[in-house]
Amino acid sequence: MTWLRKYPFGPLEWRVLEALWAYGDAASVRDLQPRFADIAYTTLMTTLDRLHRKGVLARTKQGRAFLYTPQHSRVELESSLAAGAMRDAIHRDEAALRPLMSFFVDAVGEHDREMLKELETLVRARRAELEQKAK
């Protein structure tokens, strides 16, 4: 999902994605409109089309309307965004990576000790894999 770094989402796009995930089925502009009383029908239609062009939504034609479906679950999308941000940080400035890694470890540790153990296991496994390749 490298396209995610190219196409950040605005607040309305996030609201639309949230509404589609909550709807749980393919939805038309008309289906979603009651959840967006503060937004014009055409604005909602444009936002759905924009998300489709970004590759986040699939759409199918049904009669004269399009039905939109998220291409990815919320977890998949958020994971991809986080992974992209980490990759960008790593490639941008290695000196800035240490505070980011420290923050990540602290945040994981505050959230769940078992997850911190799992992270440590993953690091050890990766280190062993790299050492094996180096031989």
What would the pLDDT profile of 13-45 be if each residue is shown by its tens digit?
Answer: 999 999 999 999 999 999 999 999 999 999 999
pLDDT at 4: 52
The strand pairing partners of 57, in sequence order, are: 70
Same domain membership, residue 119 and residue 83: yes
Q: For the chain, how many helices (H) and strands (E)?
A: 7, 2
| pLDDT score of 82 | 79
What pLDDT score was predicted for residue 87? 79
Q: Is 65 helix (H, G, I), strand (E, B) or coil?
A: strand
Q: Are 65 and 33 in contact (CB under 8 A)?
A: no
Radius of gyration from C-alpha coordinates of the chain: 20
Amino acid at 127: R
What is residue 64's DSSP assignment?
T
Q: Which of these, 12, 21, 69, 73, lies nearest to 43 by C-alpha position?
A: 12
And the tokens for 72? 């990815």
Q: Are residues 100 and 120 in the same domain?
A: yes
d(CA 23, CA 114): 33
Same domain, 8 and 65: yes
> What's the CATH number where 62 sits?
1.10.10.10
Last residue of a domain, one of 48, 72, 96: 72
**Within this chain, do residues 45 and 58 fall inside the same structural domain, yes or no?**
yes
Same domain, 10 and 68: yes
If one compares 102 and 72, the residue with the highest pLDDT of the two is: 72
Are 62 and 96 in the same domain?
Answer: no
Residues 52, 30 share a domain? yes
Task: Verify that 55 and 87 share a domain, yes or no.
Answer: no
Domain count along the chain: 2
Same domain, 123 and 98: yes
Q: Mind listing the pLDDT tens digit for each residue in 75-110?
A: 998 888 878 877 777 777 777 777 878 888 888 888
Same domain, 11 and 67: yes
The residue segments making up the domain with residue 14 are 3-72
- The CA-based diameter of the chain, rounded to the nearest angstrom, is 63
Q: Measuring CA to CA, how many Å separate 122 from each of 103, 105, 107, 125?
A: 18, 13, 17, 5
